[in-house]
Amino acid sequence: MRKFLLAAAAAFILPTLVSGAPAFAAEEVKPMHREWNFNGLLGKFDKQQLQRGFQVYKEVCASCHSLNFISFRNLESIGYSEDQVKVIAAEYQITDGPDENGDMFQRPGRPSDHIPHPFANDQLARASNGGALPPDLSLMTKAREDGPNYVYSLMLGYKDAPNGFELNPGMSYNEFFPGHQIAMPQQITDDRVTYADGTKASADQIAQDVVAFLHWAAEPKLEVRHATGIRVMLFAFLFTVLAYFYKRRLWARLEKH
Amino acid sequence: MSTEKSRLMKAWEWHEQRLPIGHFLDHSLGSKYPAPKNLNYWWNFGSLALFMLVTMIITGVFLAMNYTAHVTLAFSSVERIMRDVNNGWLIRYMHANGASFFFIVVYIHIFRGLYYGSYKPPREVLWWMGVVIYLLMMATAFMGYVLPWGQMSFWGATVITNLFSAIPAVGDAIVTLLWGGFSVDNPTLNRFFALHYLLPFVIVGVVFIHIWALHIPGSNNPLGIDAAPADKIPFFPYYVAKDVFGLGVFLMAYFAVVFWLPNAMGHPLNYVPANPMVTPPHIVPEWYYLPFYAILRAIPDKLLGVVAMFGSILILFVLPWLDRHPVRSATFRPIFKIFFWIFLANAVLLGYCGSQAAEGWPLIASRIGTFWYFFHFIVLLPLLSWIETPKPLPASISQPVLSPAE
Ligand code: HEM
């Protein structure tokens, strides 16, 4: 049994030793740390918070950032009803076509549409943002080291540049952005939005909400993953215990000889 | 009921006479396959490797049903798997993390062999087949990692395929052939997908030969001495039961990562679509290549670096002739045992260096590590074969406590 424990320990420790050391630029500042309710064994999203986060995305971020992998129908899983989703979708104009005359036309959005891009193409997006491209946000919290904490910190990390720091025109100083010069101006301040559900919109609250929403967008299957995980683990545990006692009984026969 | 059963038995026997599949299994992994009775838990990792190979193939086939091998669609087809395909997230996370766990298992399996001298006569061919499987796994996983077409997929593929250009005269031609053009692009993705689908089945073939070769001498054991027939027990049910228990423990570790840390072993930048115009600040391969990546970068000359990197694996083929000490198990070789652990620590250190930028102390450490890696094989092992006095060996497995008489 002792040897077995050793083997098991090695199997756990080895990967953490090697994988726990991702290479990253030295100048980066460790992001602020928050407890997120989507982390943990049974971590879940708070639907109310996701809806607030969606409101922030829609009213603030959407003018620059796309959300390519989300269609309106997906919003049902953050607690909107089918009818509410129809209403939300219809607020957008979607380019469709060509019609029978060969012309493209505009029509109100439907639940099956993807959330439309703010810019017709990347060149236009750059031209409107001082040459920098606002990245798609649908996978953002998985596309950065310690994603949720990083985006949260980035949102709140705007400061005056320290003395002697050379800030290029049109750029902002951000404590948490690699290199500290970011082409995205500060977006989140107290009361930047007025929440539909009446929650007080402090900058911190807004940042948390939009991060939760973006994490849902990046990992929409998180809740079912956790729930399935618990069941699978329980099963694996019982299976292992049974296998252990069966093995012990079987091998006891051998020791008698 | 009883006639019913005997009819079934008859049908079975009829079939056995024509295709003795039951007989074959019984002799391969069943009650007719004797194994030393003293195998410890490090011997579980062979069957675990087989389990992972099967898992990779099953999850891989389901991924392939929904994956699109085209540069404009590959990334979003993987995201579609994650979001819209029924249980697609589970299949993909099992496959992506399965590769890591497959390597963890195989590394433990290899180091088990190194410790207990399982490469020594009469198991050299068995060992060779193992090294072939390992090489094929590296190729398969490398091409698999390119498929989601994220930033690390693209840049990893660019860096690694470029290595072949170091080969004199034909290097550039080989790279063009690998790429199917003049840069990593759609033709590259297509051939990598075709090969990624093919190679696992080649591995299955080599695994057959590996197990065949195993059955000629039978398993080695922790004492490294030949097991007398009296010291063997049938594989079924004893080792089957032990392997099943081991599998349960392994599954808990694997599932813990799949369900709670599914992205911990991957690089975040692979969630950014490939972009040939933006080079990431650090291009890091998957963790299982890191020691070899460190060796590659430790050597300032590109060609020599590539030679050292491939040499560090190929040298395993001649290991049975580098270490000619007659005693197999490190248990009875006190000096070898120390150097085994140093070698293992050195490999982990190299892995760490491979994850860092090639500058400063990690670069120096990877040079020392590279030197030590080859020094271990080329100088230490042959030397120890000559000079190391082993501890007295037990007369048999049943007598692990030494009889001082001898
Ligand atoms: C030796 C067994 C195998 C290994 C080590 C392996 C390894 C990998 C790796 C590392 C990835 C990248 C995962 C990611 O980061 O997303 C991958 C992706 C993929 N593999 Fe495999 N694989 C194996 C067998 C197979 C087989 C047999 C198939 C098909 C029949 C397959 C189909 C795919 C597909 C379609 C992808 C792209 C989807 C994705 O990236 O998630 N694999 N594989």
Picking from B283, B303, B333, the residue at the C-terminal end of a domain is B283
B26 is a catalytic site residue: no
The per-residue pLDDT for B57 is 98
Which distant-in-sequence residues (6+ apart) come within 8 Å of B138 by Cβ? B288, B289, B313
Please identify, by atom number, the ligand 1 atom nearest to the C-alpha of residue B146: 12
- Mean pLDDT of the region B121-150: 98
Decide: B218 and B195 in contact? Cβ < 8 Å.
Answer: no
Write out the residue range of the structural domain in which residue B315 sits: 289-390
Q: Which residue of B has its CA nearest to A228?
A: B259
* Residue B150 DSSP class: B
CB A98 within 8 A of CB A104: yes
- B126-134: average pLDDT: 98
Residue B265 within any structural domain of the chain = yes
- If phi > 0 it is left, if psi is from -120 to 50 it is alpha, else beta; for residue A130 that is left
Identify whether the C-beta of residue B75 lies closer than 8 Å to the C-beta of residue B97: no
Quick check: is B1 in a domain? no
Q: How far is CA A217 from CA A57, A205, A222, B324, in A?
A: 11, 18, 10, 59
pLDDT at residue B2 tops 70 = no
Residue B356 alpha carbon to ligand 1 centre in Å:
26
**Predicted pLDDT at A21:** 39
Protein fold of A30-256: Cytochrome Bc1 Complex; Chain D, domain 2 (1.10.760)
pLDDT of residue A254: 87
In contact, B231 and B38? CB cutoff 8 Å: yes
Token couple for B104 = 């963890």
Q: What is the mean pLDDT of residues B105-121?
A: 98
- pLDDT level of residue B66 (50, 70, 90 thresholds): very high
Average pLDDT over residues B92-116: 98
Contact A232 B44 (CB under 8 A): no
Co-location of B253 and B330 in the same domain: no
Phi-psi region at A251: left, alpha or beta (left = phi > 0; alpha = psi -120 to 50)? alpha
Is residue B32 flagged as an active site residue?
no
Is residue B400 pLDDT above 80, yes or no? no
Sign of the C-alpha dihedral computed for residues B324, B327, B330 and B334 taken in this order: negative
Q: Note whether residue B90 is domain-resident.
A: yes
- Report whether pLDDT(B5) > 90: no
The CA B146 to ligand 1 mean position distance, Å, reads 9
Final residue before a domain boundary, out of B262, B283, B304: B283
C-alpha A130/C-alpha B282 separation (Å) is 26
Is B185 a known active-site residue?
A: no
Q: Which residues of chain B have a CB within 8 Å of the CB of A147?
A: 268
User: Measured between CA atoms, how close is B226 to chain A, in angstroms?
Assistant: 20
Q: Please report, for residues B156, B364, B372, the alpha-carbon distance to residue B350 in angstroms, rounded to integers and kept in the order given.
A: 19, 11, 10
Per-residue model confidence (pLDDT) at position A27:
57
Q: How many domains does chain B have?
A: 2
Judgement on whether residues B217 and B186 belong to the same structural domain of the protein: yes
Whether B210 and B252 map to the same domain: the answer is yes
Least confident range of B246-250, B349-353, B356-360: B356-360
Mark whether B79 is an active-site residue: no
In which residue are the tokens 């009819």 written?
B7
- Residues of chain A scoring pLDDT < 70: 1-28, 256-257
Q: Do A145 and B268 touch (CB under 8 A)?
A: yes
The structure tokens 């020599």 sit at: B304
CA-nearest residue of chain B to A241? B245
B96, B262 contact by CB (below 8 A): yes
DSSP class of residue A193 equals S
State whether residue B36 is helix, strand or coil: strand
Distance A225 CA to ligand 1 centre (A): 20
Residue B2 lies in a domain: no
Residue B16 belongs to a domain? no
Looking at residue A29, its pLDDT comes to 85
pLDDT, position A255: 77
CATH of the domain at B258: 1.20.810.10
ipTM of the complex: 0.92
Select from B37, B238, B259 the Cβ nearest to the Cβ of A229: B259
Is B67 domain-assigned?
A: yes
**Beta-bridge partners for A173:** A181
Distance of residue B149 Cα from the nearest chain A Cα, in angstroms:
14
Domain boundary among B283, B307, B341: B283
Q: Chain A closest CA to B287's CA: distance in Å? A: 6
Q: What percent of chain B has pLDDT over 70?
A: 98
Average pLDDT of span B221-239: 95
CATH of residue B364's domain is 1.10.287
The answer to whether position B167 is within a domain reads yes
Same domain, B217 and B341: no
Q: B400 lies in a domain?
A: no
Q: Is A98 in contact with A74 (CB distance < 8 Å)?
A: no
Residues B256 and B324 placed together within one structural domain of the fold: no
Do the Cβ atoms of A233 and B259 come within 8 Å? yes
From CA A129, how far away is CA A123, in angstroms rounded?
A: 10
